[in-house]
Amino acid sequence: MRQAPVALQATIRLFTSYSACKSCDKRKIAARIFLKDSMAALMKFLHIAAAIVWLGGISFMLFALRPAAAAQLAPPQRLPLITLALGRFFSLVWLAIGLLLLTGLAMLLGVGMKNAPVGWHLMFGIGLLMSALFGHLYFGPYRRLKQAVAATDWPEGGRRVGQIATLSGLNLGLGGLAIAAVIFLV
């Protein structure tokens, strides 16, 4: 016989424990349960939305913008465009990282670290690694790319775009691994 999901089991236990209480207001209990479930749904939504922004943006930059710009534009036009696009995208990535870390930690702590599935722990660890890798990318190669573009040093700028692409590809792979961990190791 198949068991109910853990969240549903917890809700049932909570409701039945309050149901035995004669002085408890059932509407308040139902409202508490609804708010708890709604908050969990909001955390999942924000978490997934932030992951889509980050991983989708990496995919767009690697597989659409960069190749199209390389095919159509010379380095003096291409590198400033890529630098500007990356700057705008990286602002979103910082926001996405903050949301991912906050919502991921909230969900982990919500069930208790020792009660969380191993896939959740792996996703959190991989997420921390991805965040550190992005920090390196942002404060290393991206900063040097901006300097190269400002100095019109196109060969150096091209090298930095290559480094950013390599590190972004690694983060994309890690993101896929984190998603696989949370799906298959529950």
pLDDT in tens, 98-115: 999 999 999 888 888 888
The pLDDT assigned to 44 comes to 93
* DSSP annotation string for 93-139: HHHHHHHHHHHHHHHHHHH-TTTS-HHHHHHHHHHHHHHHHHHHHII
Read off the pLDDT band of 24 (50, 70, 90).
low
pTM: 0.80
| Residue 31 pLDDT > 90 | no
DSSP annotation of 24 = S
The pLDDT assigned to 8 comes to 55
Across 8-22, 35-49, 111-125, least confident range:
8-22
Per-residue pLDDT averaged across 25-51, rounded?
Answer: 78
Going by C-alpha positions, the residue among 93, 103, 95 that lies closest to residue 124 is 103
